[in-house]
Every structure is written in structure tokens, then in C-alpha cells.
Amino acid sequence: MTQPQGSVSRAVQPCRILVVAPYAGLANSVRRVANEYQNIQLSCITGNLNYGLRAARMFNMQNFDIVLSRGGTAGLLRQELNIPVLDIPIGSFDILKAIKLAQEIKGKKAIVGFPAITNTAATINEILQLNLDIYTLSEADDISEVVQLLVKKHYQTVLCDVVSGSAARAAGLDAVLITSGANSIRQAFNSALTLADYLRQANHDNRLLQETLYREDNTTLAFSPKGSILFVSHMSKLPQGLVDYLRIQIPYVKNGSVQNLRKAMNGILYHVSCAVLYENGTPGADIIPEPTINDLNFDNALIDNTVSFKRDDKDIAAIVFYIHAGHTTSKRRRSGITYYTSHEAQRCFEGSLYNLSGNYDRIQSAIENANEVRQPLLITGEYGTGRTAVALETYATSPFSSRPFTEVDCGMLTESSQDFLLNSSHSPLFAQNETIHIKNFDSSSNQFLHNLFSTIAQAGTYQNMRVIFSCNPLGHTVQRYISYIKDKFLCMEVELIPLREIHEQIPTIANLYLSQLNSELTGEVLRIDHKAMDLLSAYAWPGNYIQFGRIIRQLYLSANDHVIDQASVRSALALERPTFLNRTSTVNTYGSLYRDDQAPSNKEGNSLSIPFGSLAQMGYDAACLAIRYSNGNQTEAAKKLGISRTTLWRILKKHGGKTS
């Protein structure tokens, strides 16, 4: 393997580099560029700001010569680590790429970032006379103040890095992310190679906890306040996933909000007691009794016995987890039942396309009012309109967010899990002061729904805990149940709008999602051309955000020359099958390709609906009707269909050259 042009020749000993990438897309690009170098030994982790700092603390810094990171994350690492931290720069092309993408988004725009971004942006702005406003950050704490200023000045879009992008989205602004390209990464590697021989230093040894209590066959795991492992009694008994999960819980144990938790993993239910050990033996070092083993069913963590009081980190010697491994029941008995913590729910919502669309603002006030009075909630909407995302955000912003969230997917329940839900004393229906989301109940049998709603009523579930229902409201049977639960449980209903009814927002949503994909993946798609965007806006999107996100991601991965063109969009939409016939039995003239208002109409203004058939037959039927509505003019008919006259002639020729 040859050395990249312009790189520095090094000694045989490799340069040991730790990369803390603020986002996954940068991590992927770093790994790819590192393959060009023979003399780099790379470790790469993903984490932004404090998350990146905590991730870096897991490593022994004596094993590295240089740390590479970006922006605010690099600044935090410099304050904490005793080895050099270099920035992965932002190049001129990286900024130009973001500016080009932002041109497709309407509204007032500004560039926000640390000097590494804004200095280069200012030069580009001046040379190209773009008239973009630029705001420079001195430290991470400035982000909130700058974002609020942009809101007051009525900006709509911010060009920024990942850190500022999160704050901008939280304030209701659109964010186009500025990401580092391959040349910028090479520049960082070359700088690291130049400095490595002179700046290798050692990190302080981790202080080991001298005495740790053993409990029979239980495992004791001790962490330092910063997250490194001090002691473990039986590491071979612990799956790595459990260790990682407990490390995440350290801040919650330190502030006293978690004392006991449960985690199901690899068919085993782990019961964990948590304790804080202090240097001077102050209160908090006492061991918390282990919970008893119960026949519980948990896919994710259940955190209980929460209290709230502050601890002083400077006196903490260790955070200790006492782990007892019990056996959980079969997967079949807990099929369709999932558990979340509040930070897991928040992360799922923030990563959803529904959140990216900004349409949560329309219902946010109603959700907040319902949260204040603990009122049961009914979320209705078609498939893919974001019902689950809204339920998760409702929980994460409610007064019950410190307690577990249980999601019951009625469409995924087996007979065994239905029996557990209705009859087990450990069913989430019988919990206290928690949140339960019963979704897709329109997919269940009448008998099960009768038993479910009777149990909720008789057990007082809707009074003892927060209950959220969600379903697709189409159909006579489900309407009867909707009326029942609204009257019986005094539910407040929130209706989610299908994507076809807000088609004017599709260009903005598509470009924001492209920006997100550019930060997550290794590609560089700059834009969707106008004709392609027109096709996307005209499409009916029966699968709403789920289908839209899948198609845009597919187009992103197959894009040529950094552009998504009309032909690619037409091909992708043509492959969409009538998967949603349970919502409607007929489609418009063009199958499922267009909204009703985009289909050609006759002189009376009516569009004809036809049943689904084979793809060839549907194409032929559409061609015949287009010719009919064009009064026999095949050239005009071809324009309405979005195809050439030659293609139209070939479709007719396969059926004898005649129109029906």
C-alpha cells in the first residue's frame, strides 16, 4: 500500500490514534481514509460533547499518542486528557457542500460554529458574495444564546456542526450540517503523524478499589466516577452489553435517582443493586439489599425505587453494582412487549423522521396539557404518520419519565403474551405510576380487545398509571372501539396528519433528511433536482414517513454525481407495491403514484379509480385513460403520464395498439 501524496514518511512504530467522532458519518469516513496509511494504528469511537468525553474515558490513554476530534468535543477532551488533542478541520469544499444543499431550503439562513468553521465560511461568503450571516462560538455554552438570538431574528435555517444542529432543532430551526470530507481527514492524520514522535505522553494509572464485597455467586462491578472499570469479581459471567449499559447508569446512581434496576439480556434477567462508596465513609456507602427474583418479563431496563438527592462527586471513591443473574421467561411469552427508559425514548423520538418534519409543534401544546393532568391519550393516524414517536415523546416529557415506559404492540402479541398481559400478576397493566402505550389495537381480534379494555377498566389501570392508546382510525370496527375508550377512559384524542396532506413540506423535509444522511453515512449527496422533487411532492405516500424515509434513503445510496435525479425517483416509485390495500381498496388512475389532486380529470373534474391489477395492466389502463382525457391526443397524454410518446406507443403496442 502506497503512502498518500503529501503525507509524511514515518518510522516503523505506528502512530496510535484515538478518534472521537461527534457523529457516526465522520467515524465511517475516518476509518475509510485510515486504510490509506500503513503507519497508523486506529481506534475510533462515536460520541458528541460530554458523551464523547465519557466514551474516551473508557480507554487507557497510555495506549495512544494522539487524539483526533472536532469542534466542541475536541475542546472538552483537551481539558480532560493529558495527551495532545488535534482538530479534524472543516475544509472549503465541506462548507460549500452545505451551502449548496441549503440553497434548496427557503427562508432566512445563518452559519453558526467555532472559528474552525466560521473563519473559512467568512472567506467563502466574501468571495462568492453570498450575504450569509455568520455567528462565531467561543465555547459550547454560547450555543444556546446564539440559537435564541437566531429565533428572535426570525431565521429559519442554520448551517452548523452537529452540536449546534441539535440545539437549533430543539429551538424549532432547520439545521444543515457541515461535515468533514476526506481531504480534511487526511490533513488531520498528517498533522498527527508529524507530532506523534514528540508528544507521546502517559496517562495516570487508574486507582483500583482495594476492597469490594463479594456476595455468594453474585458479581460485583465497580466503576470510577468517570466510568473506567476499577474492579470486577466475575467478568466472565457478564455480557459486554450489560457492562456498557451499567456504565450509562453511573450518572443516575451518583445523583440518587437509581438504586435498583433490572435488565434482560441473552435470556437472563439481571437484578442489580447500586451503591455509591465514599472516600471518607459518609452515608451512601451502605449496601442496598438485593431484590427478590420474580417471574418478570423485560426486554429493556426497568428502573425502580427512585429517589432524588444530590451527591458531591469529589468524595466519591466508586460506583458499585451488585449483580444477581436470574432466569427470565421465554421470548414467546413477552413477544410484543417492550420497555424503555426516558433517555431511550427521547433518543428514538429525536432520530425519527416525524421529529425532523417539525410537525410535532402542531400538537405539542395539547400533549403538554394532557401531561399536566395525567389524562389518558389517544393518538390516531394512518400507518407511518409517527404515532409511536409521539407516544415516546409524550412519555419522555411527562412527570412520569423517571419511571419505566411499556410499549404493548397488539399486532405482535402471541397467545402466550396476551395471556401474560391479561392474567399475570407481573403484567404492566397492574403497575403503579408508570406509563403504558397500547398501540395497533386495530390489529387485534374483537375478543382480545374486549378482554383488554375490561381489564384496564376493572383493574383501574387508567387511574393508577398513564395510559396512551394509538391506532389507525380507518374502518368501522375500530371506530366503535375508539368511541368506547374515549368515553370510558376520558381520553384526549390527537390526530396525526398524513404526509399527502402536507405535500408542500416535502421539499424541506427531504433536504433536511439528506443533510442528516450526509452526517450519518459516507456519501455526499448535494441536492434533489427540481423535477425529481416534483415527483416526490406529487406522490401520495400511503406509508407516510416510514415509506418516505425508506425511499429517500434508497435514493441517497444509489445517487450518481451527488444528485438525486428524476429518473431515479420515477424508477424507485414505480417499484412500490400496493402494500396498503387494507387502508383503501382502490387507487387513482395512476395506481399509487400520485395524489388524487395530481391525477388527470375528465371534463366534469372527476378522477377515475380502478382496482389494482398486474403492473403491466395498470400501466396500460393508465395510458388508455390518459389518452381518453386528452381527447385522443397521445402527445398530450404522454406529458400527463410523465413519459415519452415512444414509451406510450410501446405500452399500447403490447396490447395490440388499441385503447380500451
In percent, the amount of the chain with pLDDT more than 70 equals 80
228-232: list long-range contacts, CB under 8 Å, 24+ apart: 228/57, 228/58, 230/206, 230/318, 231/318
Cα distance between residue 493 and residue 496, in whole Å: 10
Distance in Å from the first CA to the final CA of the chain: 65
Can you tell me the mean pLDDT for 473-479?
A: 80
**What pLDDT sits at residue 589?**
36
Cα distance between residue 507 and residue 568, in whole Å: 16
| pLDDT above 60: residue 587 | no
Place 199 in a pLDDT band, splitting at 50, 70 and 90: low
**What pLDDT sits at residue 290?**
40
Can you tell me the mean pLDDT for 26-49?
A: 90
Query: Strand (E) positions, 316-431?
Result: 316-327, 337-340, 377-380, 405-409
Query: Strand (E) positions, 85-173?
Result: 85-87, 109-113, 133-136, 157-160
Mind listing the domains of the chain with CATH numbers? 15-88+183-199 (3.40.50.2300), 92-177 (3.40.50.10660), 220-328 (no CATH), 334-497 (3.40.50.300), 500-574 (1.10.8.60), 599-653 (1.10.10.60)
Residue 128, judged by CB atoms within 10 A of its CB (0-12, 13-18, 19+), counts as exposed
Can you tell me the mean pLDDT for 331-352?
A: 81
The more confidently predicted of residues 582 and 369 is 369
* CB of 659 closer than 8 Å to CB of 628: yes
Cα distance between residue 64 and residue 42, in whole Å: 9
**What is the edge-to-edge ordering of all strands in the sheet holding 66-69?**
40-46, 15-21, 66-69, 85-87
State the chain's maximal CA–CA distance in angstroms.
93
Can you tell me the mean pLDDT for 341-357?
A: 87
The more confidently predicted of residues 493 and 326 is 493
**What pLDDT sits at residue 363?**
92
**What pLDDT sits at residue 657?**
62
Task: Put residue 490 in one of left, alpha, beta given phi > 0 → left and psi -120 to 50 → alpha.
Answer: left
DSSP-derived secondary structure letter, 610: B
**What pLDDT sits at residue 8?**
45
| pLDDT above 60: residue 376 | yes
Instruction: Classify 594 as helix, strand or coil.
Output: coil
What values do phi and psi take at 469, rounded to 5? -105, 150
| pLDDT above 70: residue 602 | no
**What pLDDT sits at residue 261?**
72
Residue 141, Cβ neighbours under 10 Å: how many? 9
* CB of 434 closer than 8 Å to CB of 400: yes
| Most trustworthy range by pLDDT among 236-240, 450-454, 582-586 | 450-454
The more confidently predicted of residues 342 and 584 is 342
**What pLDDT sits at residue 19?**
93
**What pLDDT sits at residue 206?**
38
DSSP-derived secondary structure letter, 590: T
Cα distance between residue 399 and residue 184, in whole Å: 45
Query: Strand (E) positions, 480-557?
Result: 492-495, 527-528
| pLDDT above 90: residue 13 | no
104-150 pLDDT, tens digit per residue, is: 888 899 999 888 789 889 999 888 888 889 999 888 788 899 999 99
- For the record, the C-alpha cell of 107 comes out as 427562508
Can you tell me the mean pLDDT for 619-640?
A: 78
**What pLDDT sits at residue 134?**
93
Q: What is the dihedral of CA 119, 123, 126, 128, to 10 degrees?
A: -130
* Partners of 264 in the β-ladder: 269
| pLDDT above 70: residue 170 | yes
| pLDDT above 50: residue 592 | no
